[in-house]
Chain A
Amino acid sequence: MKRYSVFALAREAMRHHMGWERAWASPEPKAHYDVVIVGAGGHGLATAYYLGKNFGITNVAVIEKGWLGGGNTGRNTTIIRSNYLQDPSAAIYDKALKLYENLSQDLNYNVMFSPRGLLMLAQTHHEVRGYLRTVQANALQGVATEWIEPAKVKEIVPIINIDGPRYPVLGALYQRRGGTARHDAVAWGYARACSAMGMHILQKTEVTGVRTEAGKVAGVETSRGYIGCGKLAMIVAGHSGQLAEMAGFRLPIEAVALQALVSEPVKPCMDVVVMANTVHGYMSQSDKGEMVIGGGTDGFNNFTQRGSFHHVEETLRALVETFPMISRLKMLRQWGGIVDMTGDRSPILSKTPVENVFINCGWGTGGFKAIPGSGWAMAELMAKGHSPLAAEFGLNRFREGRFIDESVAAGVAH
């Protein structure tokens, strides 16, 4: 694999860009791999990458029903932050944020990580108290966040209206290191690095069954034939329940649709990410100038990757009061993704009732920001059987009542 660099760019410029290699290979499946990962989204590819990089396990296949990064990895609003209330969440999300900071260099692929800063607006007194508490918790966790007053919010976000009658801005939780990244590039960068280590990325390959022998996983049936494996990881977000059923266990997961939309491109007007959790709306400006807006989830089980109009209306109605200038913007595109919600709104990184089958799911509405940390912890869990970052996120926490209750802090808006 040739490295991307300024010299490579100069070299290719001299020969009409005919020498670029494909970023990843599309090999034929082998009969057996040490590790098979189902799901070539960000989390699956990151898991494969850290299995190879940290533990030297490279006889790995990543199997994908559709195309690489075509699920929630390509459908989110690309926000990255780690200002969580509970210690286990802060640990894994902050690990992810730290890995994001050097990810472009690590992968030799520009993921366009932009630590532009992130504001979570407090628009009710309840939120003010909640975020003051989060700031204290973050200080103890070693996550740099601060509480800022409305005047400072206005200084950072000039387009904001801080004294709206219905949703006044009473302050904000500010994480300067938060920001955004190019979501597709994260998946592509990991895929390229995995392929360079000799791993197989098998796109358009649907898993149709899981074969077990004496309580242990033996392999998976796929649309391209049977593939044997030593260890199996299920990292498929919305369809986790279907896959778990093939292996014979059930999950505390429900799939719902979460939607987002972008406006027509406008000149640069907001260089931070702003989240308004009271109204379930969050907004940032993409490098192309589009205002990227995320909304709330549908409350009902849904596998259609589309949203509903009244949620768009609700989100925009509230955001227009806080950002009056967007009232004249036309919305360009709207789309939905299937998010996997657990009982306590925190993810599951765990062993399962079937030996050598591991599961990573339940990221719900906030998976993108966690990709590197999730892959790091999952690789450690699969290679060593235990990971400090993943320890609190086991499946057995539901039976034992050890919930990681982030639904108040991060239930919907991510």
Chain B
Amino acid sequence: MLILECPCCGVRAEESELAPGGEAHLKRFGAGASDEDFEAYMFARKNPKGVHFERWRHAHGCGKWFLAARDTATLEVFGTYPAQTKAPPAELIAAIKAKRPHWEGYE
């Protein structure tokens, strides 16, 4: 079972307590954006087989959103961090790089 530590309340929450929210750090496009940008924002997803940054909500806990880095091929969790960040923290990137030397990196 997937266990993520909620950075808001510090609880190590198991999967049934959490609600997944899809890919994190999407760049938003709204009115005035080109059709290509809007389509990509709405539908195109990285969907990597490997390191993935994603949104979660501690639905049956504190109710807050947070972000997590996880390997979709092994279910290994690299870490969680607050939702109020525009990009993954540098130390988390370094930790993932140490574990996954062939990982191409974020973006």
Which A residues contact B (CB, under 8 angstroms)? 239, 241-242, 250-255, 298-304, 308-310, 342-343, 398-399
Contact = CB atoms under 8 A, between A and B. Distances in A.
Given A254-B45, A304-B75, A399 B16 contact: no
A301 to B, nearest CB: 5
B44 interface: yes
Contacts of B52: 301
A353 to B, nearest CB: 11
A239 B36 CA distance: 23
B88 to A, nearest CB: 16
Contacts of A302: 72, 75
Which of A298, A301, A309, A398 has the largest count of B CB atoms less than 10 A from its CB? A301
B47 A253 contact: yes
13 contacts: A250-B40, A251-B44, A253-B47, A254-B22, A255-B72, A299-B20, A300-B20, A300-B70, A301-B54, A301-B72, A302-B72, A303-B72, A308-B15
B19 interface: yes
A218 B46 CA distance: 25
A303 B51 CA distance: 11
A252 B73 CA distance: 19
Interface of B: 1-2, 15-16, 19-20, 22-23, 35-36, 39-40, 42-49, 52, 54, 70, 72-75
A101 B47 CA distance: 37
A399 B72 contact: no
Contact of A300 (B43, B48, B54): B54
B99 to A, nearest CB: 17
Nearest to A304: B75
A300 B48 CA distance: 12
A251 B44 CA distance: 6
Contacts of B19: 299
A308 B1 contact: yes
A300 B68 CA distance: 12
Contacts of A251: 44, 47
Contact of B47 (A298, A301, A308): A301
B75 A254 contact: no
A300 B1 CA distance: 13
Contact of B35 (A253, A299, A399): A399
B36 to A, nearest CB: 8
Given A301-B54, A309-B1, A252 B75 contact: no
Given A241-B46, A302-B72, 20 more contacts: A239-B49, A241-B47, A242-B49, A250-B40, A250-B44, A251-B44, A252-B45, A254-B45, A255-B47, A255-B49, A298-B20, A300-B20, A300-B54, A301-B52, A308-B2, A310-B16, A342-B43, A343-B43, A399-B36, A399-B39
B74 A398 contact: no
A239 B48 CA distance: 9
A283 to B, nearest CB: 23
A85 B97 CA distance: 47
B72 A343 contact: no
Contacts of A398: 39, 42-43
B58 to A, nearest CB: 14
Ranked nearest first, the 7 interchain pairs of A and B with the lowest CB-CB distance are: A252-B43, A300-B20, A299-B20, A241-B47, A399-B39, A343-B43, A250-B44
B72 A252 contact: no
A56 to B, nearest CB: 37
Interface centre among A250, A253, A303, A309 (most CB of B within 10 A): A303
Nearest to A250: B44
Contacts of B1: 308-310
Contact of B15 (A255, A303, A304, A310): A310
Contacts of B36: 399
A304 B74 contact: yes
A399 B43 CA distance: 9
B27 to A, nearest CB: 14
B47 A254 contact: yes
B44 A252 contact: yes
A304 B40 contact: no
Contacts of B47: 241, 251, 253-255, 301
A252 B1 CA distance: 27
B73 A304 contact: yes
Nearest to B74: A304
Contacts of B48: 241
B42 to A, nearest CB: 7
Contacts of A303: 49, 72-73
A141 to B, nearest CB: 27
A289 B92 CA distance: 51
